[in-house]
């Protein structure tokens, strides 16, 4: 709750659930201020995506970076957030959307969402991004993995004067080496984007409208649905990179 207390307990002791969501519970008690109404014809599975990955990824493009039409965009990571960044970049009118991932299957999925190029994370990604952007690097580079070494690579993938947006959350206590001399001399900007810099009361209905009008293909983002009893399989599939996004259906 807003005062830091929880409505869950076990043997009389409070249980503090992750991000105050109780996301694997059959029911949850939440403050009224945290509820955002959506149109009744929005499927619950789509609403669940809007409540997390879509807002994080699309918001990073539209709210944090404010990517203008005609830009070149590179995205490191093609999970749920990365694919949402791809959709956001397409919505913003980016002309080049280059996705980097370790999985060929994920790159194929990204291209089905609007990516213009898919590159394997094999050590040549930065060189290939520069080749695709006339030797300059991408205007906007998004990191959707949360790994410091990937974040450092994003700095190299951005053109001079470009923008790097860190949308992935790296482990607490880790460190990312972003050399100040490069940032200064090449005038690159590094931005953090937490939950897509979102105003949920405004952005949730907006993204729902984009979905209704065919501008965000959120049905395609759902690769598979799972019953709650299949939650371990859902995690296994996610960690293996076998799905764009899995949704637990109650």
- What CATH number is given to the structural domain containing 233? 3.90.180.10
Q: Residue 36: inside a domain, yes or no?
A: yes
Q: What is the pLDDT of residue 81?
A: 95
CA dist list (Å): 139 to 61, 67, 124, 165? 12, 9, 18, 11
CATH number for the domain harbouring residue 136: 3.40.50.720
Shared domain check, 126 and 20: no
For 212, the domain range is: 9-47+201-248
Q: Residue 2: inside a domain, yes or no?
A: no
Q: What is the pLDDT of residue 5?
A: 85
Shared domain check, 216 and 137: no
Q: Residue 158: inside a domain, yes or no?
A: yes
Q: Residue 52: inside a domain, yes or no?
A: no
- Of 197, 212, 233, which residue constitutes the final position of a domain? 197
Least confidently predicted of 26-35, 68-77, 174-183: 26-35
- In 3-state terms, what secondary structure has residue 205? helix
Helices (H), 31-103: 44-49, 55-59, 80-92
Shared domain check, 189 and 150: yes
Which position has the higher pLDDT, 136 or 105?
Answer: 136
Return the CA Rg of the chain: 19
Reported as a single tens digit per residue, the pLDDT across 203-224 is 999 999 999 999 999 999 998 9
Domain count, the chain: 2
Shared domain check, 243 and 175: no
Six-digit token string for 131: 């080749």
Q: What is the DSSP letter of 209?
A: H
Shared domain check, 222 and 152: no
- In 3-state terms, what secondary structure has residue 124? coil
Q: Residue 4: inside a domain, yes or no?
A: no
């Amino acid at each position: 709750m807003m005062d830091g207390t929880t409505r869950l307990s076990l043997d009389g002791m409070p249980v503090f659930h992750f991000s105050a969501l109780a996301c694997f519970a059959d029911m949850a008690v939440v403050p009224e201020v945290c509820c955002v109404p959506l149109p009744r014809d929005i499927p619950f599975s789509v609403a669940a995506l809007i409540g997390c990955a879509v807002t994080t990824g699309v918001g990073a493009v539209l709210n944090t970076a404010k990517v203008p039409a005609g830009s070149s965009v590179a995205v490191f990571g093609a999970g749920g957030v990365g694919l949402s960044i791809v959709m956001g970049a397409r919505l913003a009118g980016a002309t080049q959307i280059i996705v980097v991932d370790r999985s060929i299957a994920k790159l194929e999925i990204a291209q089905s969402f609007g990516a213009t190029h898919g590159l394997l994370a094999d050590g040549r990604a930065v060189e290939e991004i520069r080749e695709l952007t006339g030797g300059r690097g991408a205007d906007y580079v998004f990191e959707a993995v949360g790994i410091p070494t990937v974040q450092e690579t994003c700095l190299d993938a951005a053109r001079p004067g470009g923008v790097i947006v860190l949308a992935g959350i790296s482990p607490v206590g880790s460190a990312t080496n972003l050399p100040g001399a490069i940032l200064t001399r090449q005038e690159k900007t590094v931005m953090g984007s937490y939950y897509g810099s979102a105003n949920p009361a405004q952005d949730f209905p907006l993204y729902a409208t984009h979905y209704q009008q065919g501008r965000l293909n959120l049905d395609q983002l759902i690769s598979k649905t799972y019953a709650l009893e299949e939650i371990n399989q859902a995690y296994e599939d996610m960690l293996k990179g076998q799905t764009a996004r899995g949704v637990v259906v109650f």
